């Protein structure tokens, strides 16, 4: 359990680590720090998706090191949204959708109406990943480091929470209307 929590904290803290590293330690020290944290994260939670994100961070870190600019490191949230968009979109073309798979963890026998609902919700998440990825790209390209860190390290998570919370409310309404 503690490994999972540590892994999540490292992932969520990434924008603030980049911001603080750029402010106080310099780009090369930041690249070393992020590489070490990725290795720790991979050790803490060695699952396939962590390996993919580790490779992405290493590639972005190498690009930052070679170009001597921080932009590649700031593209990590864009890459995360891209990977999630591809995962969710692929599941729409090759059912069951990601949300249906998650729903089936709770209820193995979903009715057809629930399957249609989970498909629509997966489409909504795809739209979210597109919008969030574009905003993350804008913050990386045109915003200050502080705005980049604020959006990608806080505001994006608030938006994710609002979407999740909204989905819970809509689902309860959906279930209640289905029982009437």
pLDDT tens by residue, 57-85 = 889 999 999 999 999 999 999 999 999 99
Confidence of residue 10 (pLDDT cuts 50, 70, 90): confident
Which string of DSSP letters, residue by residue, matches 37-106?
Answer: HHHHHHHHS--HHHHHHHHHHHHHHHHHHHHT-SHHHHTHHHHHHHHHHHHHHHHHHSSSPHHHHHHHHH
Mean pLDDT of the chain: 89
**Mean per-residue pLDDT, 38-58:** 73
Q: What percent of the chain has pLDDT over 90?
A: 63
Residue pair 74/143 in contact by the 8 Å Cβ criterion: no
Confidence of residue 135 (pLDDT cuts 50, 70, 90): very high
**Mean per-residue pLDDT, 37-53:** 71
Indicate the DSSP class of residue 111: -
**Mean per-residue pLDDT, 36-56:** 73
Phi/psi of residue 26, each to 5°? 95, 160
**Mean per-residue pLDDT, 127-156:** 98
For the cut 90, the answer to whether the pLDDT of residue 46 exceeds it is: no
């Amino acid at each position: 359990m503690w490994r999972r929590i540590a892994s999540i904290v490292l992932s969520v803290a990434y924008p603030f680590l980049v911001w603080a590293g750029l402010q106080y330690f310099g780009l090369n020290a930041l690249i070393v720090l992020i590489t070490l944290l990725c290795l720790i994260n991979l050790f803490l939670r060695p699952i396939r998706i962590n390996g993919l994100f580790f490779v992405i961070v290493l590639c972005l870190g190498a690009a930052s090191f070679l170009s001597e600019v921080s932009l590649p490191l700031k593209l990590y949230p864009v890459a995360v949204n891209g990977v999630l968009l591809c995962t969710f979109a692929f599941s729409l073309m090759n059912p069951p959708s990601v949300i249906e798979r998650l729903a089936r963890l709770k209820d193995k026998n979903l009715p057809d109406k629930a399957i249609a609902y989970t498909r629509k919700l997966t489409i909504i998440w795809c739209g979210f990943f597109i919008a969030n990825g574009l905003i993350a790209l804008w913050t990386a390209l045109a915003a200050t480091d502080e705005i980049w860190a604020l959006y990608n390290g806080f505001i994006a998570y608030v938006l994710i929470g609002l979407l999740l919370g909204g989905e819970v409310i809509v689902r309860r309404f959906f279930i209640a209307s289905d029982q009437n």
